Amino acid sequence: MEEIALGIVGGIVVVAVVTKTKILRGATKKLIKTGYALSGALTAGGASAMDSAKDLMAESKAEFEAGQVAKAEAA
């Protein structure tokens, strides 16, 4: 009788582990796919932000140099 009960419990445990593993595997794959998508979006957004920062730096440098030239001409 004990052997039958242990067999049933063992079978239930095996089914639970296999099912949980499949669920965890699916969830892990979705998490990895989300990470790839997020990485791609950040890369694209980062490139755009970098271009904007470069534009701002170039404009600031041009304005600074123009101010320096104006000061030198006034002196």
For the segment 17-65, what is each residue's pLDDT rounded down to a tens digit? 666 677 777 777 887 888 778 777 777 777 777 888 888 999 999 999 9
How many domains would you assign to the chain?
1
**How confident is the model at residue 57, as a pLDDT?**
92
How many percent of the chain have pLDDT more than 70?
81
pTM: 0.44
Rounded to whole angstroms, the Cα distance separating 35 from 29 reads: 10
Rounded to whole angstroms, the Cα distance separating 60 from 69 reads: 14
* Domain limits for position 40: 1-75
Rounded to whole angstroms, the Cα distance separating 37 from 34 reads: 5
The pLDDT tens digits for 30-41 are 878 887 787 777
